[in-house]
Amino acid sequence: MSLKNRIKKTIVLHPVLFAIFPIGFLYSINLHTLVLEDILIPLSLVVAASILLWILLRYFFKSTEKSGMLVSVYLALFFTYGHIFFFIDGSEIGGFEVGRHRFLLIIYVALFIIASYYFTKTKRKLVNPTTIANYISATLFVIILVNVGTYYLENNYLYDIDITAEKYPFDISMVTNYPDIYYIILDDYANSKSLEKSFGYDNQEFITFLTKRGFDVAADSYSNYPSTIHSLPSIMNMKHVNYLSEKYHDSNDVHELYYMMDSNLVTQYFKSIGYETINFDGGNFFDDLKNFDQNLCIRKFWHEELWSIIQHHTVLGPLSTKKSADDLREYRLCVFSELATLQHNNDKPIFVFAHIMMPHSPYLFKANGEPQDSEKVFLELDPEFNLMPYLEQLQFVNKKTKEVIDKLLTESDTQPIIVIQSDHGARMGIEDWNTAGSDEDLVKRMFNNFDAYYLPGQKKNLPDEPRTPVNTFPIIFNSYFNGEFNLQENRIYFSNPFENSYQFKDVTDVLIKD
């Protein structure tokens, strides 16, 4: 066959396959937290943009091969930027810090210009490079398909889960008062003992505010788990989640924990007795929960998990940081402003689940609500050296929470039930999760959570301290709806949320002394 005929029959596949690969790769290494629907919008956008660029370059070059090669080079530059930056971040050469965006961007712009110039000027037909690129991209595509396919074949049991509430175990026949119920989770909020010991911060002003308004604030309370991914499904299903270790002992797949939240028993029970159920987007993990009647303050899709991962691994990373921080401030403020008005917007009694990702990072606010300095927003804090962004955001959370509490207590026709808890204690600065469970001081900081109840007329039904949040809703159901729940034993378990998530170590004796 002549070279001319061979050129005519060259098939160009690599631009589309290279567009699919980075999205598929990021999806494949995060399969334990993502679902297939998460990939659809990012993948569609990247593939569509790549094809459009290919068409435009094809019109300019009059060559499918040349335009295709340039699209693939652009994709490689776009998607490798974040990986290269993470590799060199903080690196120095001769005392000169080279691991900074400003230097890497100059290099990438230079590579972009060189590639554009070369493909504009070259007279080569690029048949062999196109064939090689096709083989490489096809191989990468097959690897992704095999990885994803194998995962779903091995984990098909995840889609055969049934969490259905039986007839609610309480008697409402004599109940005449259905108060609004607000469950407010302040993520990563340490209790007063931990703030004093580990941070040198006195939180008494906030505690005094709550106690003067009738809250019972626990001096001695602990989360049952050190991470949101375990704590909230446990709380909202009123049981420990350790039983999952029998099924997933060597797995890091957390889809069942997501499912437990999406169909949690607490929300089912409240809906069954006539409550309107409302969820706020917490900014992480559990956001658009299908079991709730309303989901408020929902983030735009580019703040969802996979899209955020994509941004941070591409050239969009340094360009999107400020925009991301501004948007996140808006969402956090939305929760506080909407919370204070819900009692006026619903005819039915309401159950409100508000998981607020503060004072947890990113550190968006200073104490009075001013935007945090940009270099501190996504800072990884070390509790021995740099604590101020966390403490400033905690002070801001106190300020906004007090405003919400005052509105709820003064503007509600019937006194509401309000529970303010943190899903775990302060966790920043953990260098090695595999050994963290053996560090007694770190264990105390991780599990010392915040716990405050406003139970109008029923405070006597609170158990003795210490308290753990697995009993939060049994306490409410027993106190107000003639519930028959037995309170769970205060057991506290360490687990690594990033590796072997279902291997639990009982650390109760470290925290609760006989």
Q: Which residues pair with residue 452 across a beta bridge?
A: 217, 420
Q: Please give the backbone phi and psi of residue 277, each rounded to the nearest 5 degrees, phi first.
A: -105, 135
- CA atoms within 13 A of residue 505's CA, in its CB half-sphere: 17
Is residue 100 pLDDT above 80, yes or no?
Answer: no
For residue 382, the model assigns a pLDDT of 63
* Range of lowest pLDDT (130-144, 193-207, 275-289): 275-289
CA atoms of 358 and 364, how far apart (whole Å): 9
DSSP character at residue 464 = P
| Percent with pLDDT over 70 in the chain | 86
Task: Give the strand pairing for 92-93 and 417-421.
Answer: unpaired
Q: Provide the pLDDT for residue 460.
A: 64
pLDDT tens-digit readout, 58-84: 888 888 888 889 999 999 988 888 778
Lowest mean pLDDT across 99-108, 153-162, 213-222: 153-162
How large a percentage of the chain has pLDDT more than 90?
Answer: 40
- For residue 201, what are the CA distances in angstroms to 204, 237, 298? 9, 34, 33
Task: Say if residue 162's pLDDT is above 60.
Answer: no
Beta-bridged to residue 280, according to DSSP, are: 296, 354
3-class DSSP state of 454:
strand
For residue 222, give the 3-state DSSP assignment: strand
Measured between alpha carbons, how far is 25 from 113 in angstroms, rounded to an integer? Answer: 27
Instruction: Say if CB 15 and CB 68 are below 8 A apart.
Output: yes
User: Could you tell me which residues are beta bridge partners of residue 448?
Assistant: 222
| Band (97; pLDDT cuts 50, 70, 90) | low
Write the pLDDT tens digit of every residue in 369-409.
998 887 787 777 665 557 889 999 999 999 999 999 999 99
Q: Give every CB contact of residue 143 below 8 A, 6+ residues apart in sequence.
A: none
DSSP state of 384: T
Which range of 27-41, 134-148, 334-348, 451-465 scores highest in mean pLDDT? It is 134-148
Q: Is 20 exposed, middle or buried (0-12, 13-18, 19+ CB in 10 A)?
A: buried
Predicted pLDDT at 237:
93
Do residues 505 and 436 touch, judged by C-beta distance below 8 A?
no
422's CB contacts (< 8 A; 6+ apart) are 185, 186, 187, 188, 189, 190, 191, 223, 449, 450, 451
Residue 3 — pLDDT band, cuts 50, 70, 90? Answer: very low
23-27, 248-252, 415-419, 422-426: lowest mean pLDDT where? Answer: 248-252
429's CB contacts (< 8 A; 6+ apart) are: 380, 381, 382, 383, 384
Mean pLDDT of the chain: 84
Separation between Cα atoms, residue 271 and residue 264, nearest integer Å: 11
- Cβ proximity of 473 and 264 under 8 Å: no
Q: Residue 319: pLDDT above 50?
A: yes
- Whether the pLDDT of residue 472 is over 80: the answer is yes
Q: How far is Cα 206 from Cα 212, in angstroms, rounded to an integer? A: 10
Per-residue model confidence (pLDDT) at position 437? 80
Q: What is the pLDDT of residue 513?
A: 76
Q: How many CB atoms lie within 10 A of CB 444?
A: 18
DSSP 188: T
Residue 137's φ and ψ, nearest 5 degrees, are -65, -40
Three-state DSSP class for 257?
Answer: helix
| pLDDT tops 50 at residue 17 | yes
- Mean pLDDT highest for which of 22-31, 96-105, 285-294? 22-31
Confidence tier at 231 by pLDDT (50, 70, 90): very high
- Residue 433, classed as helix, strand or coil, is helix
Q: Is the pLDDT of residue 318 over 80?
A: no
Nearest to 203 by CA among 189, 224, 221: 189
Q: Quick check: 305 and 38 in contact, CB under 8 A?
A: yes
- What is the largest distance, in Å, between two alpha-carbon atoms of the chain? 92
Whether the predicted pLDDT of 309 surpasses 60? yes
Alpha-carbon distance of 385 to 215, in angstroms, equals: 34
Q: What's residue 165's pLDDT?
A: 54
The closest alpha carbon to 354, from 264, 277, 407, 425, belongs to: 277
> Side chain identity at 431, as an amino acid letter?
E
Residue 90, token pair as written in the block: 């903080």
DSSP secondary structure string, 424-466?
S---TT-S-HHHHTT-HHHHHHHHBB-EEEE-TTTGGGSPPSS
User: Which pLDDT score is estimated for 166?
Assistant: 58
Give the type of residue at 300. Answer: K
- The reported pLDDT for the residue numbered 247 is 81
* Mean pLDDT, residues 277-306: 74
Q: pLDDT value at position 283?
A: 63
The Cα–Cα gap between 7 and 471 comes to 71
Cis peptide before 129 (omega within 30 of 0): no
Residue 356 pairs in a beta bridge with 186
Q: Could you tell me the pTM of the whole model? A: 0.84
- 3-state DSSP: the chain helix, strand, coil percent, rounded to 5? 55, 10, 35
pLDDT of residue 305: 62
Confidence at residue 236, expressed as pLDDT on a 0 to 100 scale? 95
Residue 87 pLDDT: 72
Q: Which amino acid is at 445?
A: R
Q: In terms of C-beta distances under 8 Å and separation of at least 24 residues, what long-range contacts does 79-85 make, across chains too? A: 79/22, 79/313, 79/314, 81/108, 81/313, 81/314, 81/315, 81/317, 82/312, 82/313, 82/314, 82/315, 82/317, 83/313, 85/317
Per-residue confidence band for 266, with pLDDT thresholds at 50, 70 and 90: very high
Residue of higher predicted confidence among 250 and 361: 361
Q: pLDDT band at 320, cuts 50/70/90? A: low
